Amino acid sequence: MIISIPTIKDGYDKDYIISSKLSVFDSEWNITKSLLHNTRTCLDIGAHIGIYALEYSKYFENVHSFEPIPKIYEYLKTNTHYNSNINIYNTAISDKDDEYLQMLPHNRCTEINVVISEETEKGWYVSFNMPKQYTKETLPVPNNSEVKIIEIPAEKFAVISFSGLVREKKYAEMLSLLNEEMKKRNLDPKGSVILARYNPPWTLPFLRRNELMFRF
């Protein structure tokens, strides 16, 4: 299978063509197939670059794929061009009427998607960085009282970056390297290690950016 892949590093400005069996999706796809009952029509909402749409097209008579981000939609169009039963739409779709879904800019994942996880005495603390064009006053008000919007002052971190999936073995290796490097530089870590993930879950593993970091 030939898939056109946008590169994160260059802000989706270049194409990479790769040949792959996409084995990373095998387990997910096997689960999906077991749930199929009606194989006439499939709605692929949030189609991204079309990897799942291509698989769905083998089992469904018609696949309708929705991708709202214009640049990603262009890759979707390229990848599904030769599949006559895949219909693509450059739009968002929602289960609510009269709702305006605001798409955040997608040209730099570091400004949008970072999810930070930190283990504390009270359990795991998860936070999200908001895009810099917003202020505390202009952000939407959370509909859950347990979600707080706070401003965090600038801090210093020692950071190691890596790609792929965050598995236990990889996590331990990166943490060991980070600790070694901090010792070399005489930096004393403060608090527990923090894990940052920069990409949505459908991103191919080798295109993902992850970081482990310590305050110092």
Per-residue pLDDT reduced to its tens digit, 20-64: 444 445 666 677 777 776 678 888 998 888 888 988 898 889 999
The residue type found at 75 is Y
pLDDT at position 99 is 53
Q: Which residues contact 54 (CB under 8 A, 6 or more apart)?
A: 1, 79, 80, 83, 86
The residue type found at 81 is H
- Residues 19-24: contacts with CB within 8 Å, 24+ apart? 22/51, 24/204, 24/205
Supply 145's token pair.
């009282």
Domains and CATH numbers, the chain: 2-89 (3.40.50.150), 109-215 (3.20.80.10)
Higher pLDDT, 38 or 162: 162
Going by the DSSP 8-state scheme, the letter that residue 110 receives in this structure is G
The residue type found at 55 is E
The residue type found at 182 is M
Q: By the 8 A CB rule, do 14 and 71 touch?
A: no
Per-residue pLDDT reduced to its tens digit, 77-131: 999 999 999 999 998 887 766 555 444 444 443 344 578 888 777 888 888 887 7
User: 95 exposed, middle or buried (CB, 10 Å; 0-12, 13-18, 19+)?
Assistant: exposed
pLDDT at position 3 is 44
pLDDT at position 21 is 41
Q: By the 8 A CB rule, do 68 and 87 touch?
A: no
pLDDT at position 188 is 93
